[in-house]
Amino acid sequence: MERALQLAASPGVPLRPNPRVGCVVIAPDGTIAGEGYHHGAGTPHAEIEALKDAGDRARSGVAVVTLEPCNHTGRTGPCTEALIDAGVAKVVVAQRDPNPIAGGGLEALAAAGVEVEHGLLVDDARALNPAWTFAHENGRPFVTWKFASTLDGRSAARDGTSRWVSSLPARRDTHALRALCDTMLIGTNTVEVDDPHLTVRDADDQLLADQPLRVVMGERDLDPERRVFDDAAETVQLRTHSPLEALTTLYRDYDRHHVFFEGGPTLAARFLKAGLVDEVVTYVAPLLLGAGKSAVGGLGIHTLSMAMRLEITDVAVIGEGSEANVRLRLTRFQGAHLDTSAEPGGA
């Protein structure tokens, strides 16, 4: 299984939209007969590659797979049928498939007389595809909220100027994080005020070929000439003020698993109050403004004991000297008995 996990994490394997999967086929004599891994959407699954590599030596052998073999026909046929046809005697799986469309593979194998086992190194397997796993288990994408602020928590000065609170190295780091997600989301107010392009660029400031979906959330009509609506990437506007509705739509209708949320303080408060922020990434600049726009709007918290408490999972200094920013990654919200009776204003 450790070898299958290594194969699944092979360099160059796309992080989306399909999960990374590895497979090792063991011959009846205990030697490795075949290996394979999924190279990306539309290519043969890991089991198919490993079975092809093993040939006749797979018969009466054991297939060790990081993710439960699929039991449906998509771009490729069911891996369960391929394993049965190859005559394997046993299939050992790390993670059950949380996708309701593709799941049920172990039951199909068992019904065909194949011995099955699951749970071996399951935590390692889940760590291979965390956002994919989260989305299918929760029916919505994993949400990373990113923002930049000064030391005193301001995202913009009193006159509204916000370019640039973060440093150039921090902005380049943000692009690297954006590239790991399949969706970037902002509100209509951010479009009107900041006119962001919301694309992913490399270290040379060139657009990447594979761009996440750009999503604008909010009901108001927007100027079609705004940069977010150009042809650099696909853009959709979700005309709703409900974060849960927006996220459910992205999962159900667009097959999205990881949202990189860069909305303003009003929309951020809405997501936080709804309990729909799973991770926070913030870049703290060595600046003091003393006044200006807060990074997040009102949360209905009236006393320190009600504070929304987060756990720091990573700290890094991005850049050097005057260009240095501190990047914090935080997760695991605790406390925060929020007053949700009054919704923040529209996105």
Ligand-binding annotation for 262, yes or no, is yes
Of all helices (H) and strands (E), which one includes residue 329? strand 325-335
> Per DSSP, what are the bridge partners of residue 325?
318
> Residues 270, 261: contact at Cβ < 8 Å?
no
Ligand-binding annotation for 23, yes or no, is no
Does residue 205 come out as left (phi exceeding 0), alpha (psi in the -120 to 50 range) or beta? Answer: left
Ligand-binding annotation for 192, yes or no, is no
Residue 297 DSSP code: -
Ligand-binding annotation for 178, yes or no, is yes
Q: Find, among 98, 41, 196, the residue nearest to 215 by Cα.
A: 196
Give dist(CA 56, CA 33) in Å, integer: 9
Ligand-binding annotation for 162, yes or no, is yes
Q: How far is CA 82 from CA 19, 40, 60, 72, 109, in A?
A: 19, 19, 14, 12, 10
DSSP H helices, 92-187, are: 105-111, 122-128, 130-138, 168-178
Residues labelled catalytic? 47
Of all helices (H) and strands (E), which one includes residue 4? helix 2-8
Bond from prior residue into 17 cis (ω within 30 degrees of 0): yes
The length of the chain is 347
> Residues 264, 190: contact at Cβ < 8 Å?
yes
Residues annotated in a binding site for NADP(+): 148, 164, 190, 194
Residues annotated in a binding site for Zn(2+): 45, 70, 79
Residues annotated in a binding site for substrate: 162, 178, 198, 201, 262
Residues annotated in a binding site: 45, 70, 79, 148, 162, 164, 178, 190, 194, 198, 201, 262
